[in-house]
Amino acid sequence: MKTVSNVVRDYPHVSARTRERVQRAIDELGYRPNMMGRRLATGKTGLLTLAFADVGIPYFAELARVVSRAAEARGYRVLLEETDATLDGERGILASSEAGLVDGMLFQPSVMSSTEIARHRSDLPIVLLGETAAPLTVDRVMIDNVAAAAEVTRHLIAAGRRRIGFVGHEEPALSETSRQRIMGYQSALEEAGLQPDAGLLFPSASISAADAAAAVGAALDRGASFDALVCRDDLAAIGALRALHERGLRIPEDVAVTGWDDIRLAGMMFPSLTSVAPDLDALASQALDMLFERMAGFDGMGRHRIAPHGLVLRESAP
Amino acid sequence: MKTVSNVVRDYPHVSARTRERVQRAIDELGYRPNMMGRRLATGKTGLLTLAFADVGIPYFAELARVVSRAAEARGYRVLLEETDATLDGERGILASSEAGLVDGMLFQPSVMSSTEIARHRSDLPIVLLGETAAPLTVDRVMIDNVAAAAEVTRHLIAAGRRRIGFVGHEEPALSETSRQRIMGYQSALEEAGLQPDAGLLFPSASISAADAAAAVGAALDRGASFDALVCRDDLAAIGALRALHERGLRIPEDVAVTGWDDIRLAGMMFPSLTSVAPDLDALASQALDMLFERMAGFDGMGRHRIAPHGLVLRESAP
DNA sequence: TTGAAAGCGCTAACAG
DNA sequence: CTGTTAGCGCTTTCAA
């Protein structure tokens, strides 16, 4: 029994002859190791949960891809879990009454508060993704949203834009993501001596191109005037493009537009989207590094890491 | 031990008093049932694999979402597996040397041949998704691609289009998906007395908007002339829109464009995309129905089911 | 209605 | 280097 186990797992101290004999039997019988047995015995499942709002949102889909590849490289598989950005959904993720299904979890909360996350004392190693306020006790990776938002805003200012709006944040309850991006946007305006104008903030009913288009369209129809839009994410930017196109405005001549996330389709819009590009590979590997350290027993304070980002200049805001 | 097990699983024949006593102990101790133990004992894992090329492709991301919700409603979780549309990737999925990790699998092959799939005698219940030729022995769900392609082509013909191209299939090796769509397209042309023109087939180097844009752009630049494009999928359509825009052609006035899959962003393009809309909910639930029957022991011939589809008319081909 | 015993398929510790 | 003996945490008989 043990010898077979050793052969299956490539344990070195097995004589070539025995190994070969066992292997032949394995092949003949079509034996497949049963994971559940192995995992019960070792206590490791080889599974990770990746939880976020909705795979149908391109950013998350691309994140899932990157995480899943990175996990696979470390011998892990990924279980996808969607919260629909609801409190219940997110609580369900943390509560998930069954233990031992996964060895660790990568979790991007949308609405849960830092304190509620902190209160959840679970034995499951967790690393948080994204900007939602993370408790000091929990690891987290994000990009520097404030800095990136300031960069993109500065880029517009340098191109001569003076009335710069912001599109796509939630209302009335701002997500931490939106808050940080708006902070960066505002600080860049102020640093250039421009007056932030609350009338140039255009919230969207949901994270979707359709709602962003509706918001920008309504603003234009009631006479709002701006020469650039910083969008919370690429979906909002795509919606903004659509609303502007519909009303015959030229992009970027009349209004420059920037997105965020640099999703695959960003370059295929017309005009193509200038966008903040988080380094997903770095983000995923930093997150997994910390998660594996936790799984290996590390029990220190929460580490908060910053993943790099870039700004990809395209036609919508050259 | 057994009594606790009974309480945990809500087995009815436990006295109220005992149940209450056990429950209190569970709460105090923070006991969580360990899935691996349960699953080893029952032989069921509660896990399903969903395998396809790439979650970064919007259609697959949306499919993942629908499947994952439908599976959850039946008490199952979904393990995501990507093949990158490579033969090795797909073989790896079928071979996956460990048994017992999942109870069943939904698999959308991209390149594997029907015979190779058939040859793979595995004890794992499988249902195939999509058009790739499926062996008679294996269950499969798809939409009627030939019919849908004919419908969309007829729609263009009815709108007065006469030189209708097809965009986005592979070259030189056509996928079964593309083959069926081209068949439907061609049959609608012929039925209207239009001459199919091989010069109006514009293959794309990959399933991506960028390559489709390059293909359509190159065709236009070498003088190809057409008044409508049936695109293999929405990504190809988005690429086609881009190439047409770049060259100052009006859509739909000069060229009408149709997509396929009706991804979320289809309605947000400018102009918004007319698209074939597969009924993903129906597709997922039919697939899961058959999969659960297999998991329950059904061992008959492969069932080949057709899920419904619609045609969503939007600005690009009203 | 409750409890005792056996075993799911594997690995870890130990002995030979 | 190989084999034996105990579990991992649960469920499933089967008795009490």
**Region label for B43, one of left (φ > 0), alpha (ψ between -120 and 50) or beta (otherwise):** left
- Per residue in B13-44, pLDDT (tens digit) is 888 888 888 888 888 888 888 888 888 888 88
- Per residue in A211-240, pLDDT (tens digit) is 999 999 999 999 999 999 999 999 999 999
pLDDT at A244: 98
Nearest residue, CA→C1' of C6: B41
Q: Encoding tokens for residue B90?
A: 């797909």
Q: Encoding tokens for residue A72?
A: 């696979």
pLDDT at A99: 74
Is A40 exposed, middle or buried (CB count within 10 Å of its CB: 0-12, 13-18, 19+)? buried
Are A306 and A286 in contact, with CB atoms under 8 Å apart? Answer: no
pLDDT at residue B227 above 90? Answer: yes
State how far the Cα of A295 lies from the Cα of A153, in Å rounded to an integer. 40
pLDDT at residue B210 above 90? Answer: yes
pLDDT at A97: 67
pLDDT at residue B49 above 80? Answer: yes
Higher per-residue pLDDT: A315 or B3: A315
Q: Which residues 156-215 on chain B approach chain A with CB closer than 8 angstroms?
A: 208-210, 213
State how far the Cα of B30 lies from the Cα of B28, in Å rounded to an integer. 6
pLDDT at residue B1 above 80? Answer: no
Are B209 and B238 in contact, with CB atoms under 8 Å apart? Answer: yes
pLDDT at A20: 87
Which residues contact residue B47 at a Cβ distance below 8 angstroms, ignoring those fewer than 6 apart?
A79, B76, B77, B78, B79, B101, B102, B103
Are B59 and B233 in contact, with CB atoms under 8 Å apart? Answer: yes
CA distances from A192 to A153, A164, A179, A195, A245 (A): 10, 12, 20, 9, 29
pLDDT at A159: 96
Which residues contact residue A288 at a Cβ distance below 8 angstroms, ignoring those fewer than 6 apart?
A67, A70, A71, A74, A106, A127
Interchain contact B241–A (C-beta under 8 A): yes
Whose C1' is closest to the CA of A41: which nucleotide? D8
Interchain contact A62–B (C-beta under 8 A): yes
pLDDT at residue B256 above 90? Answer: yes
Single out the residue of A312, A259, A180 nearest to residue A188, CA to CA.
Answer: A180
Interchain contact A119–B (C-beta under 8 A): no
Single out the residue of A2, A1, A318 nearest to residue A160, CA to CA.
Answer: A318
Instruction: Flag the least confident range among A272-276, B174-178, B190-194, B231-235.
Output: B174-178
Please name the member of A55, A77, A101 whose beta carbon is closest to the beta carbon of B64: A55
Q: Evaluate if pTM is beyond 0.75.
A: yes
The yes-or-no answer to whether B46-143+280-308 and B145-278 have a common fold is yes
First to last CA, chain A: 66
Q: Which nucleotides of C are covered by protein (CB under 7 A)?
A: 1-14
The confidence band for B254, taking pLDDT boundaries of 50, 70 and 90, is: very high
Domain B145-278 has CATH 3.40.50.2300: yes
pLDDT at B188: 98
Q: What's the gap in Å between the CA of B9 and the closest CA on chain A?
A: 12
State how far the Cα of B193 lies from the Cα of A206, in Å rounded to an integer. 47
Please name the member of B54, B56, B98 whose beta carbon is closest to the beta carbon of A35: B98
Length of chain A: 318
Degrees, nearest 5: CA angle B290-B295-B299: 75
> In chain A, at which residue ranges do the beta strands (DSSP E only) sit?
47-52, 77-82, 104-107, 126-129, 139-143, 164-167, 201-202, 228-231, 256-260, 274-278, 304-307, 309-312
Q: Is the CB of B41 under 7 A from strand C?
A: yes
- What is the bridge-based pairing of β-strands B201-202 and B104-107? unpaired
Residue of B5, B9, B26, B35 best to disrupt the A interface, most CBs of A under 10 A: B35
Distance A3 CA to C15 C1' (A): 15
Query: pLDDT above 90 covers what percent of chain B?
Result: 74
Strand order in the sheet with B164-167: B201-202, B164-167, B228-231, B256-260, B274-278, B309-312
- Per residue in B273-316, pLDDT (tens digit) is 999 999 999 999 999 999 999 998 898 999 999 999 999 999 99
Please name the member of B36, B238, B239 whose beta carbon is closest to the beta carbon of A100: B36
Low-confidence ranges of chain A (pLDDT < 50): none
User: Taking CB atoms and an 8 Å cutoff, what residues of chain A touch B209?
Assistant: 264-265, 268
Higher per-residue pLDDT: A14 or B249: B249
Q: Is the peptide bond before A252 cis (omega within 30 degrees of 0)?
A: yes
Q: How many CB atoms lie within 10 A of CB B147?
A: 16
CA distances from A203 to A95, A151, A167, A189 (A): 32, 21, 6, 19
For residue B36, the surrounding DSSP H or E stretch is helix B35-42
Distance A31 CA to D8 C1' (A): 22
- pLDDT averaged over every residue in chain B: 93
pLDDT at B100: 79
- Per residue in B78-116, pLDDT (tens digit) is 999 999 999 999 999 888 767 778 999 999 999 898 888
Q: Is the peptide bond before A172 cis (omega within 30 degrees of 0)?
A: yes
Interchain contact B25–A (C-beta under 8 A): no
Are A104 and A47 in contact, with CB atoms under 8 Å apart? Answer: no
CATH of B46-143+280-308, one of 2.160.10.10, 3.40.50.2300, 3.20.20.150, 3.40.50.1000: 3.40.50.2300
Please name the member of A99, A241, A272 whose beta carbon is closest to the beta carbon of B34: A99
Single out the residue of B244, B222, B221 nearest to residue B231, CA to CA.
Answer: B244
Q: What's the gap in Å between the CA of A289 and the closest CA on chain B?
A: 21
pLDDT at B172: 84
How many Cβ pairs within 8 Å bridge chains A and B?
Answer: 137
Q: Encoding tokens for residue B49?
A: 């694999």
First to last CA, chain B: 67
Q: Is the CB of B295 under 7 A from strand D?
A: no
For chain A, the domains span 1-32, 46-143+280-308, 145-278
